[in-house]
């Protein structure tokens, strides 16, 4: 079985247990690089060799949406998993529009990271079931037809919710 090449980016100190520690412990994954930013030549080279970028929301806050979009454009086969701490319901569609294909709550890392990375590698979309339900409820509360009807068609590849 081919190992999944992963780059991990986190701009702040992680709380134990961190995603990087978990990624290093998985035998089916090969951590190519550990970075504090997705900008820079060294990280760019690592991303070019990676199948999946596991990115903490601190990197998104530091580098910005444009940097994520540029990284995805430069490495179009790269699947990006955003690990977030704060609820991101308002910017979910924006995340998908810049190339992020997976969302994982930090509190779920221990139980779901090992499943999320291979799912992204296989071309699936990964996001918490509760987030999907929240988006669905929001769209029906706004009345009438909404963008929720178009949401599944905007998700690239097959979708998987946990």
Task: Please report the DSSP string for 36-55 in residue order.
Answer: S-S-SHHHHHHHHH-SEEEE
Task: Please provide the CATH number assigned to the domain covering 4-161.
Answer: 3.40.50.2300
User: Whole-prediction pTM value?
Assistant: 0.81
Q: What Å distances lie between residue 64 and 23, 67, 95, 121, CA to CA?
A: 24, 6, 11, 24
In the 8-state DSSP scheme, what is residue 98?
Answer: T
Which tokens is 122 given?
Answer: 């296989």
Full pLDDT tens readout for the chain, 162 residues? 789 999 999 998 876 568 899 999 999 999 999 999 999 999 999 999 999 999 998 898 899 989 999 999 999 899 999 998 876 655 777 888 889 999 998 888 999 999 999 999 999 999 877 776 766 666 666 655 545 455 554 454 555 555
């Amino acid at each position: 079985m081919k190992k999944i090449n992963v780059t991990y980016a986190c701009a702040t100190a992680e709380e134990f247990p961190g995603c990087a520690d978990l990624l290093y412990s998985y035998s089916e994954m090969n951590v190519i690089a550990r970075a504090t930013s997705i900008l820079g030549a060294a990280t760019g080279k690592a991303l070019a060799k990676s199948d999946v970028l596991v990115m903490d929301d601190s990197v998104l806050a530091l580098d910005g949406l444009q940097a994520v979009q540029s990284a995805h454009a430069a490495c179009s086969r790269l699947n990006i998993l955003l690990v977030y701490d704060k609820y991101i319901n308002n910017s979910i569609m924006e995340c998908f529009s810049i190339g992020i294909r997976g969302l994982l709550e930090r509190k779920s890392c221990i139980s779901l990271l090992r499943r999320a990375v291979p799912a992204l590698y296989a071309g699936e979309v990964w996001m918490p079931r509760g987030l999907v339900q929240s988006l669905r409820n929001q769209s029906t509360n706004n009345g009438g037809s909404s963008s929720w009807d178009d949401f599944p068609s905007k998700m690239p590849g097959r979708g998987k919710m946990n």
